Structure 1
């Protein structure tokens, strides 16, 4: 099966950078990010960000909210980069992100109407965050690294975050 074309690869790089940068910003440890995941490692997908969440000092609700933000950050950053709007729940490349977002939101507000409102609010907050110049610079730098190398260690994400936003 063929992978994404050059434009698709750039969009995928912004998508994966979004997941990784937001997770790191929220205190997670990013282990690696890749545009070429191992085909034997779970369901078919175009990219992957391996993220370790530390539970110390966080309630289950706080952790679920952080994870929700990181999950939705991929599609949000991809949309910002492409300058388009897409329905998160009906764009097939984002099906896994959408499913995980619904599961995480259900832990926080177990009611269908409230789940969608929480996801919409979180997307709005992520857009506001990503559109801040310094934050977008981190996303762009990580996306550029991914395009250049296909895979990067999490340390590169954390270094970019520190360089643009401080420790």
Structure 2
């Protein structure tokens, strides 16, 4: 199995590619993130700026849930293993975050679980596409080479693969 740094790079690249494709500005992606007000200490971090949006609109919640779950799915594809984000330790925080945001879309816990699981399946299909996977690999390679990418570096890499 690959080292934690490589797995983290693919994970964070998944967040970045999907966030960018859905219209977010990726402010930064990095390996080795310290704890802050929002998140515990973790291997990596991806900051998405959605601009001036209504954080409670269904469309915004959908974009966030897709972006949140894209990290575990990209890592899942890289690993070649279909693991459940709710039960696989390194991804439980992503699942919990998507679960909280997804409550706005689906209040019933059983149906919300089904919704998030269907999002994982949808993301797996789309992220496995050759062009999308090439974008994830490109960001991952850059992240492994530099450990931190700012908005300008990310926009340059992502705009080659994804037309906004």
List alignment gaps of at least 5 residues for structure 2: none
Would the alpha carbon gap of residues 39 and 120 (structure 1) be closer, same or farther in structure 2, given more than 3 Å must change?
closer
Residues 55 and 63 of structure 1 are in contact (CA less than 8 Å); yes or no, is this contact kept in structure 2?
Answer: no
TM-score (norm 1): 0.90
List alignment gaps of at least 5 residues for structure 1: none
CA–CA separation in structure 2 for the residues paired with 1:69 and 1:7: 26
Q: Over aligned residue pairs, what C-alpha RMSD do you find?
A: 1.9
Q: Which residues in structure 2 correspond to 1:100-111 (within 5 Å)?
A: 100-111=97-108
Matched, 1:121 2:118: yes
**What secondary structure does 2:23 align onto?**
coil
Q: Which residues in structure 2 correspond to 1:36-115 (within 5 Å)?
A: 36-39=32-35, 42-56=39-53, 60-115=57-112
Matched, 1:13 2:39: no
Deviation at 1:37, TM superposition (A): 1.6
TM-score (norm 2): 0.91
Matched, 1:33 2:29: yes
Would the alpha carbon gap of residues 57 and 93 (structure 1) be closer, same or farther in structure 2, given more than 3 Å must change?
closer
Deviation at 1:133, TM superposition (A): 0.8
Deviation at 1:38, TM superposition (A): 3.3
Aligned length: 163
Deviation at 1:13, TM superposition (A): 0.2
CA–CA separation in structure 2 for the residues paired with 1:157 and 1:130: 18
